[in-house]
Amino acid sequence: MKESRIVVYTLLGAILAFLAIFLFTRDIEIPKNQAMPWQSYINSQQQTVVFSLTMGESRLIDAARQFGTEIKASLFEDEGVEPELEVYFSSTKVGGISARIILNLLLDDQAIEDLSRNIDVSMLMPSGVKNTTFTSAGEVSMSRLKIKSLTFIPGANLEEGVIENLFGKPDRVELAPEGISYWYYSEKGLRIIVDSEQKEILEFYNQ
């Protein structure tokens, strides 16, 4: 009896996994005014547009209207490298697809000054990179900052065939060690990190 329940649960798990992949491969009915990741494009100013957000022009507050206001922001500083301010939306849905979204924001002198007055915790990571988080006031001060790039991590793994079905064939593919490859779509302002072991990562940026 116990063995039969295990078989049933195994079959149920397989069916659910199939349905998850099916949701990515079927013709999804897109909600009104809801952009999807495979619909990104380069506008007439040579800027990447995804989810109705224009890289280098739209601001954090514009993204918050779509993805929610529950964010986690970190400033990463390393010697000899430009500091990177990342804003992390841990759980959101785009057209019914669960995903994590990370925004890289453009920093200016005023932003750095505002952030320096609203530090919560600053710590040195084992890699030598300094990681700083901020108070609520500091996070509010980021709302006017423009989006440099957007990273989209879908909740489900995307097989290579699924990626081609949704995004088309890449302009070029760069192979890397340990089962990782980089797929480039120049007309979409997109690079997809395809990983045989981990979830795929979609990076949208101005080229």
Contacts of 120 (CB under 8 A, 6+ apart): 132, 133, 134, 135, 138
The pLDDT of residue 189 is: 97
| Edge-first strand listing for the sheet containing 41-42 | 41-42, 48-50, 53-54
Q: What is the mean pLDDT of residues 109-124?
A: 93
Contacts of 137 (CB under 8 A, 6+ apart): 118
What's the pLDDT tens digit per position in 146-200? 999 999 999 888 888 999 999 999 999 999 888 899 999 999 999 999 987 888 9
Largest CA distance in the chain: 68
What's the pLDDT tens digit per position in 132-154? 999 999 999 999 999 999 999 99
Q: Cα separation of 131 and 77, whole Å?
A: 7
